[in-house]
Amino acid sequence: MKIGCHLSSSGGYLAMAQTAVSIGANVFQFFTRNPRGGAAKPLDLEDVRAFSAYAAENGIGPILAHAPYTLNAAGADERVRAFAEATMLDDLKRLEKTPGALYNFHPGSHVGQGEEAGIELISSMLLRVFDALGGKCETTVLLETMAGKGSEIGGKFAHLRAIIDRTALPLGVCLDTCHVWDAGCDIAEDLDGVLERFDGEIGLERLKAIHLNDSMNVRGARKDRHEKIGKGKIGLDALAGVINHPRLRHLPFYLETPCDLQGYKEEIALLKSLAENA
């Protein structure tokens, strides 16, 4: 079973990997820079080399780099869009030093421009970023499923399909259990149905990672508030069904629950105990 959680990147790659092992994780997620934006710290190539060796020795990966929350490719303000583009390009260039990594981002919010305009802005930005990388990217870029709050793009599977179709890029998807629940998907009582719809609209071959989170909200609330595993409205039985589903259990699972390291250690142990092929 590939399972881990979100970790602080302040100590570098090797420190994150060592922390992951200490809590029973074999994958981890981190922000590429301050989640509210700003410049990333200079890349320590010696740390990257040490991490790569340690990860190989301990079976760690794939790691998931998460773009900052302020990245909004669908923003109405040109400066906001320019920041998103520059940040993503810089992130992907840096991630070339850690082969096999995944890069996840929230597609963005159209802030009143409309879904069509938002989808077009996101798609065109992705095309420019890939073009600046020479038409190929060593890192798999993932669109995240969203809760659909406000003017978010990604609260419907069709939004992600439209971005994939318009770019014709090898994009993947990260499914967030809290987000799809809050968007109205009944993963507790009809997980098979949700996956069939995902497969029909996007394609399960595009699903590369899962954010495993419970939700503080009732299904369809469109609020996006994560809860600890088994303490929310989705529930432990439903999340156990996610990690054991034959179409999902091969994927890496990343916890983003409101926990400290000890809490993550306990959640990882709990989920491993429920996994049929841990």
Write the pLDDT tens digit of every residue in 198-214.
999 999 999 999 999 99
Which residues, including other chains, have CB under 8 Å from residue 99's CB and lie 6 or more apart? 138
19-38: average pLDDT:
92
pLDDT at 77: 95
236-272 per-position pLDDT tens digit:
999 999 999 999 999 999 999 999 999 999 999 999 9
Q: Which of 271, 200, 124, 151 is nearest to 192 (CA)?
A: 200
pLDDT at 45: 96
60-71 per-position pLDDT tens digit:
999 999 999 999
Whole-number Å distance between alpha carbons of 130 and 167: 10
Q: What is the value of pTM for the model shown?
A: 0.96
Model confidence at 135, pLDDT cuts 50, 70, 90, reads: confident
122-150: average pLDDT:
96
Model confidence at 278, pLDDT cuts 50, 70, 90, reads: low
19-26: average pLDDT:
98
- Are 99 and 13 contacting, i.e. CB atoms less than 8 angstroms apart? no
pLDDT at 62: 98
What percentage of the chain's residues is helix, strand, coil (to nearest 5)? 40, 15, 45
Whole-number Å distance between alpha carbons of 278 and 273: 8
Whole-number Å distance between alpha carbons of 21 and 17: 6
Whole-number Å distance between alpha carbons of 143 and 16: 24
DSSP state of 206: G
Q: What is the mean pLDDT of the chain?
A: 96
Asked whether the predicted pLDDT for residue 234 surpasses 80, the reply is yes
- Are 65 and 104 contacting, i.e. CB atoms less than 8 angstroms apart? yes
- Are 51 and 98 contacting, i.e. CB atoms less than 8 angstroms apart? yes
69-87 per-position pLDDT tens digit:
999 999 999 999 999 999 9
Structure tokens at 156: 């419907």
> Which residue type is seen at 97?
K
Topology of the domain comprising 3-267: TIM Barrel (3.20.20)
